[in-house]
Structure 1
């Protein structure tokens, strides 16, 4: 564990930093899945709004 000593003798314990990496852009399959999920979410929200309007 990396400790540092501050003035007055106090110890500070710092967390180990994770390894840094660059994110990869989504491939075509992931893009298609995002699109399908987005459309399904929009349909769900619109359906709930219509249902709430119909019930009230």
Structure 2
């Protein structure tokens, strides 16, 4: 575990702060992939709900 040393030689067990970075805006390909994955997720959830409705009324 990393320790930080203060003046006078005292050790502290505080976590070190991670290095910061800025997020980059997604490019056109990544945006297209987000749309495709969103549509696929919507179809999957809709299909599961359709199966649940059909199964509950099939008795």
- When normalised by structure 2's length, the TM-score is 0.74
1:1-56 Cα deviation digits (max 9, x unpaired):
2145xxxxxx5311121111110010111101111110000000111111111111
In angstroms, what is the RMSD of aligned CA positions?
A: 2.0
Distance 1:42 1:34 in 2: 12
Structure with greater helix percent: 2
Task: Show structure 1 runs of 5+ residues with no match.
Answer: 5-10
Partner of 2:35: 35
Could you say which structure has the greater relative contact order, defined with CA pairs below 8 angstroms and 6 or more residues apart? 1
- When normalised by structure 1's length, the TM-score is 0.77
Aligned length: 52
Task: Show structure 2 runs of 5+ residues with no match.
Answer: none
Structure 1 segments (4+ residues) deviating >3 Å: none
